[in-house]
């Protein structure tokens, strides 16, 4: 593993398992000082211990917790260089089956949470001479899904936020980029598909076979893309949509 993130301080929301866990493991392996965050303290402490990081409990729906998370990162490490907005929820809901409360819940995590964490981080990134915000997206932001209406819409909002921040903060050398995720066998996705189909792994494998590459991507592949965007190798990249979905849009 390279040391291209040596000296950088990174925080990843929703990083107690799944894609977020893979990201903190990769960033730490490449030399970053990492802060794990989420709402599952047992898994968070375990992951942090295994990679030599710290864990901060943070419910991104709450402005005070987002501000507290960033403040804790800066208090512990003296700076922040990378924010990865990964925390997300993705219930299976059609338009007619959804409720206003369910809609608000999804948006409060997927879009509002990223906004709140970014708002808290930007002053520190600016004061440090620049930095990186990476938002974890989805292919559903482009084509929607009748059974994940709130999720798709919230990620569409996150994509727009990414572009807006990239433009707004380029002068501050704060790079804002997006990673498009396709089908990934994360614990949350497997659990959802188990509930809907009875065999989540088989369902995801079949979906992967439909992609040009013939398989779903791994959490480690998503993490590799985030590590690149977080590094100085991507110093001239902002407003980018990095598609790690096995060619789903070819």
Token reading at 112: 């509002």
Catalytic residue (one of 115, 142, 151, 228): 151
Q: Rounded distance, CA 162 to CA 159, Å?
A: 5
Burial of 79 (0-12, 13-18, 19+ CB in 10 A): middle
- 3-state secondary structure labels for all residues of 205-249: HHHHHCCCCCCCECHHHHHHHHHHHHCHHHCCCCCCEEEECCCCC
Q: Is 142 a catalytic residue?
A: no
Q: Rounded distance, CA 162 to CA 240, Å?
A: 9
Using DSSP's 3-state secondary structure scheme, residue 180 falls into strand
Phi, psi angles (nearest 5°) of residue 177 = -135, 170
Q: Tell me which residues are annotated as active site.
A: 151
């Amino acid at each position: 593993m390279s040391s291209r993130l040596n000296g950088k301080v990174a925080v990843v929301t929703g990083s107690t398992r799944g894609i977020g866990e893979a990201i903190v493991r990769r960033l730490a392996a490449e030399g970053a000082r990492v802060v794990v965050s989420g709402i599952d303290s047992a898994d968070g402490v375990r992951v942090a211990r295994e990679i030599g990081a710290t864990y901060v409990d943070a419910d991104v729906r709450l402005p005070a917790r987002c501000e507290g998370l960033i403040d804790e990162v800066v208090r512990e490490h003296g700076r922040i260089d990378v924010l990865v907005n990964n925390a997300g929820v993705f219930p299976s809901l059609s338009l007619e089956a959804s409720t206003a409360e369910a809609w608000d819940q999804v948006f409060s995590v997927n879009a509002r949470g990223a906004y709140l964490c970014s708002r808290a981080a930007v002053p520190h990134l600016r004061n440090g001479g620049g930095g990186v915000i990476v938002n974890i997206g989805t292919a559903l932001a482009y084509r929607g899904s009748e059974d994940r209406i709130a999720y798709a819409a919230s990620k569409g909002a996150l994509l727009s936020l990414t572009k807006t921040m990239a433009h707004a903060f380029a002068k501050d050398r704060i790079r804002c980029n997006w990673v498009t995720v396709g089908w990934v066998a994360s614990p949350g996705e497997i659990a959802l598909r188990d509930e809907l189909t009875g065999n989540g792994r088989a369902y995801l494998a079949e979906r992967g076979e439909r992609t040009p590459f013939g398989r779903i991507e791994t959490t480690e592949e998503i993490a590799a893309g985030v590590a690149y965007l977080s590094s100085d190798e991507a110093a001239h990249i902002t407003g980018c949509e990095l598609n790690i979905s096995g060619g789903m849009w070819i």
